[in-house]
Amino acid sequence: MGNITKLGFGGGCHWCTEAVFQALHGVIKVEQGWIASIAPYDDFSEGVIVNFDNNIIPYDVLIEIHLLTHSSSNEHKMRTKYRSALYYFDDKDSTGLHASVARLSSENKTHYITQILPLQEFRLNAENQLNYYSKNKGGPFCQLYISPKLNLLRSRFAARVREDF
């Protein structure tokens, strides 16, 4: 199976982030929970680890989708719980991630506050919280917050969104 890569993503609610990435072709697995980096970013914040086939969906497309589907360009009082970040597992990936965010910032004429940090620790969420959208599609939270993000994905990245999601 292709070139399997994994990255951590943080930014908004982990239920939302989980659903966004689960909806994409080339994503093999999404682990939803809490991510911590190194000090001073060692407090846990909501996030996901995405395992994906880089030959089907390149990491720069995942980054673009991530920046589009959460509040990635402004500070707010909940940034500790919802840190806007890309988390890498290997130091050699840091340069490419910085380059992708810089390119997208220039193309979109947007200053992203998204940090690029090493993933230090991950805690999987409780079983009843995993695959939240799939289990609760009709619920008020999903309808209010997650469905609009998935509709945005379908309008901007239609060919990348799974038909069964």
Q: What is the pTM of this model?
A: 0.94
Phi, psi of 19 (to 5 degrees): -65, -40
Alpha-carbon distance of 73 to 76, in angstroms, equals 10
pLDDT band at residue 120 using 50, 70 and 90 as cut-offs: very high
Reading the block at residue 131, the tokens are: 């695959």
Q: Does domain 4-160 have CATH number 3.30.1060.10?
A: yes
pLDDT, residue 158, reads 96
23 vs 25: CA distance, rounded Å: 7
pLDDT digits (tens, 9 = 90+) for 60-71: 999 999 999 988
